[in-house]
Amino acid sequence: MSTQHVDGPDGAHRRPPGVSDTLVQALGALSEALETTERARGHLYSFHQLTGGADFALDRAVALLRESGQHGWAERVERDILGRNVIPGHWTFQIIEAYDATYYQPFKDVEAQARRELVAGKPHLYEAELKENRRTRGHPDHTARPDAARPLDA
């Protein structure tokens, strides 16, 4: 086994022959944009869960309003707010479904297809090369790959 093979990135993180620096940077930027979209999607799920939690919390508010004798307010909250659409015709799950179908899945598909066609499907080439440029060779906590790392209990 050659020293470079042991000390460099694994084959899944080495650019194919003929791939330019500019292409690696472009695919890195595309991947970074997708990662940001992943975070945005996560915020949609937070919105979904928080809104759903608030809707379920209304059950207690309605019950306490009734218990306090405020039947009119209990009925108003139950009628006007409980189970209400968050935008016309949509509960939060429908917003997520529309986002996924309209934006998220097409974005994922384009990014994956670009990697398949341009760099044999290899992920994170930009980051792998950045790691190679920034790590200290020979340092036990700067190994190129997990299989070369020292055990955690060492």
Residue extents of the structural domains in the chain: 20-137
Sequence letter at residue 127? E
> Which pLDDT score is estimated for 2?
41
Q: Which of 96, 101, 123, 136 is nearest to 27 (CA)?
A: 123
pLDDT for residue 18 is more than 80: yes
- The residue count of the chain comes to 154
Q: Which of 149, 150, 134, 147 is nearest to 10 (CA)?
A: 147
Tell me the percentage of the chain whose pLDDT exceeds 70: 95
- Mean pLDDT (the chain) is 93
C-alpha dist (Å) from residue 108 to 10, 30, 47, 57, 105: 24, 10, 22, 35, 5
Q: Which of 125, 122, 99 is nearest to 44 (CA)?
A: 99
Q: Which of 126, 136, 116, 99 is nearest to 14 (CA)?
A: 126
Q: Can you give the pTM of this predicted structure?
A: 0.82
Confidence of residue 152 (pLDDT cuts 50, 70, 90): confident
Sequence letter at residue 90? H
DSSP β-bridge partners for residue 90: 87
The whole-number average pLDDT for the span 24-40 is 98
Confidence of residue 87 (pLDDT cuts 50, 70, 90): very high
**Token duo for residue 127:** 């980051």
